[in-house]
């Protein structure tokens, strides 16, 4: 059953929500399709059907707001995003995230962490600056100067180190703050707090949309910044703002949960397996056939002394009612084990419950393991479950045949 309504605030749930039918103009349709948060298809009477899939987030197009909430909860979604990028990301980096919508959750958390970061004032550091000056400061960039004004001594092209607040950490913070100032449904108090934080970072350059993240490294000097920087990276990577063509302003935060789950599991397993030596390998080098024409691409493959010892595949699917993975997933894992000469391979399902199970394939010595994961549990417990699975896989790999 579809629900017909007019543009306003629409909240859908990842995968499970019914379609909503709206009256939209061409610009709104184009913006929704470009953001790729929801599917937009024609409906009867010139209206449009909006349906959620496996992407979550929010988009504002003028007075239309569409939000798709993750089944795992906002805090866990943000943790998965952060951990998949950097396993140094901790659960406390997104602790206390409110549940009243994505935009308020991001804004409130960013304000809290940025305030703590700036409590003693913004960090300062040395940054390399290329500039055109009426006098020499630092080193002359002779090549640039000759190209810009041959034969003219002044002004001169120079490069110097400047001690200022315009450092990577502050650029990241200010960019995140300014992105959040463009999003909808913020309380007046949050708007005021973000504006005040932006003013405290005056003089710091803001990253253009689509620019790479500035490089920073955790240290004793920036330790108080770390939680704010982790969250700021997520906002800058996934939040976009566009003033539009003058008719509609657009703001969007879109996350592909299937890719996030696979990336999170890959990093969590890599960290858990690192204690056994060897390394986890990116997919693509191994093939199913002797002629090496059919590549196999498991999500995680652990190698010790050049030999595969454990293989895993992550599937962002609802746990099947029969308590086992789908046949195609089992066939795929059996092919991986055959090609890699492994006695067991593991399939990890998202949003499942229950314990690990294995099945023996007929006429082989191959076991297919299945581990459902409850992604709504606290991140510490989820990481513990992944570590236990890694330990089991390595014990089985070491057991005599």
Q: What Å distances lie between residue 203 and 199, 254, 358, CA to CA?
A: 9, 30, 59
Taking 70 as the threshold, does the pLDDT of residue 148 lie above it?
yes
Give per-residue pLDDT as tens, 179-231. Answer: 999 888 888 999 999 999 999 999 999 999 889 999 999 899 999 999 899 88
Work out the widest C-alpha separation in the chain, in whole angstroms.
84
In a shared domain, residues 48 and 156:
no
Distance CA 113, CA 232 (A): 9
**203, part of any domain:** no
Tell me the CATH number at 311: 3.90.1570
Mean pLDDT of 103-130: 91
With both helix axes pointing from N to C terminus, report the angle between 226-238 and 102-117 in degrees, rounded to the nearest 10: 140
Percent of the chain with pLDDT over 70: 92
Residue 400 φ/ψ, nearest 5 degrees: -65, 150
Q: Which of 69-78, 165-174, 237-246, 349-358 has the highest mean pLDDT?
A: 165-174
Tokens matching residue 283: 């997919």
Instruction: Say what the pLDDT of residue 322 is.
Output: 43
Instruction: Say what the pLDDT of residue 4 is.
Output: 45
Question: Of the residues 164, 186, 220, which one is the last residue of a structural domain?
Answer: 164
Distance CA 180, CA 109 (A): 11
Range of the domain at 45: 1-67
In a shared domain, residues 15 and 137:
no
Distance CA 367, CA 337 (A): 9
Question: Of the residues 139, 164, 189, which one is the last residue of a structural domain?
Answer: 164
In a shared domain, residues 271 and 344:
yes
**95, part of any domain:** no
Residue whose entry in the numeric block shows the structure tokens 């082989």:
364
Which residue(s) pair with 359 in the sheet?
Answer: 368
**342, part of any domain:** yes
Q: Picking from 47-56, 162-171, 211-220, 346-355, which range would have the lowest pLDDT averaged per residue?
A: 346-355
Instruction: Say what the pLDDT of residue 312 is.
Output: 97
H helix and E strand count, the chain: 10, 18
8-state DSSP, 19: P
**How many domains in the chain?**
3
| Interacting residues of 245 by C-beta distance below 8 A, sequence separation 6+ | 27
Tokens matching residue 275: 């204690």
**184, part of any domain:** no
Split at pLDDT 50, 70, 90, the class of 104 is confident
8-state DSSP, 138: S
Residue 248 φ/ψ, nearest 5 degrees: -130, 135
**373, part of any domain:** yes
Tokens matching residue 97: 């995230």
Residue whose entry in the numeric block shows the structure tokens 């539009």:
244
Split at pLDDT 50, 70, 90, the class of 174 is very high
Distance CA 101, CA 73 (A): 10
Beta strands 20-22 and 239-242, pairing class: unpaired
**349, part of any domain:** yes
Using DSSP, state whether 359 is helix, strand or coil.
strand
Using DSSP, state whether 207 is helix, strand or coil.
coil
Tokens matching residue 340: 């890699």
Instruction: Say what the pLDDT of residue 326 is.
Output: 86
**180, part of any domain:** no
**371, part of any domain:** yes
In a shared domain, residues 135 and 57:
no
């Amino acid at each position: 059953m579809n629900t017909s309504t007019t543009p306003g605030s629409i909240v859908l749930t990842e995968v499970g929500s019914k379609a909503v039918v709206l009256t939209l103009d061409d610009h709104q349709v184009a913006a929704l399709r470009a953001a790729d948060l929801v599917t937009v298809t024609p409906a009867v009477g010139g209206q449009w059907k909006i349906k959620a899939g496996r992407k979550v987030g929010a988009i504002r197009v003028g007075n239309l707001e569409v939000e798709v909430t993750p089944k795992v909860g906002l805090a866990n979604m943000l943790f998965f995003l952060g951990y998949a990028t950097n396993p140094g990301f901790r659960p406390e980096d997104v602790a206390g995230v409110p549940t009243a919508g994505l935009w308020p959750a991001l804004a409130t958390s960013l304000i809290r962490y940025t305030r703590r970061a700036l409590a003693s004032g913004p960090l300062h550091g040395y940054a390399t600056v290329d500039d055109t000056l009426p006098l020499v400061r630092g080193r002359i960039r002779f090549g640039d100067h000759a190209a810009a004004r041959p034969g003219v001594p002044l002004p001169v092209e120079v490069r110097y180190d400047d001690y200022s607040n315009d450092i990577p950490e502050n650029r990241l913070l200010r960019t995140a703050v300014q992105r959040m100032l463009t999003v909808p449904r913020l309380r007046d108090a949050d708007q005021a707090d973000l504006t005040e934080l932006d003013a405290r970072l005056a003089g710091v350059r803001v990253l253009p949309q689509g620019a790479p993240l500035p490089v920073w490294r955790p240290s004793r000097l920036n330790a108080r910044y770390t939680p704010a920087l982790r969250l700021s990276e997520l906002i800058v990577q996934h939040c976009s703002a566009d003033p539009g063509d003058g008719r509609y302003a657009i703001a969007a935060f879109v996350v592909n949960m299937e890719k996030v789950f696979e990336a999170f599991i890959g990093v969590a397993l890599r960290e858990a397996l690192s204690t056994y030596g060897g390394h986890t390998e990116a997919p693509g080098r191994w093939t199913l056939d002797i002629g090496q024409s059919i590549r196999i691409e498991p999500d995680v493959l652990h190698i010790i002394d050049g030999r595969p010892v454990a293989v895993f595949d992550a599937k962002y699917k609802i746990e099947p009612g029969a308590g086992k993975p789908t046949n195609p997933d089992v066939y795929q894992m059996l092919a991986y084990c055959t090609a890699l000469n492994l006695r067991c391979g593991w399939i990890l399902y998202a949003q499942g419950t229950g314990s690990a199970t294995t099945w023996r394939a007929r006429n082989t010595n191959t076991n297919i393991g299945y581990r459902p994961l409850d992604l709504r549990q606290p991140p510490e417990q989820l990481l513990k479950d992944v570590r236990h699975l890694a330990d089991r896989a390595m014990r089985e790999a070491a057991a005599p045949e």
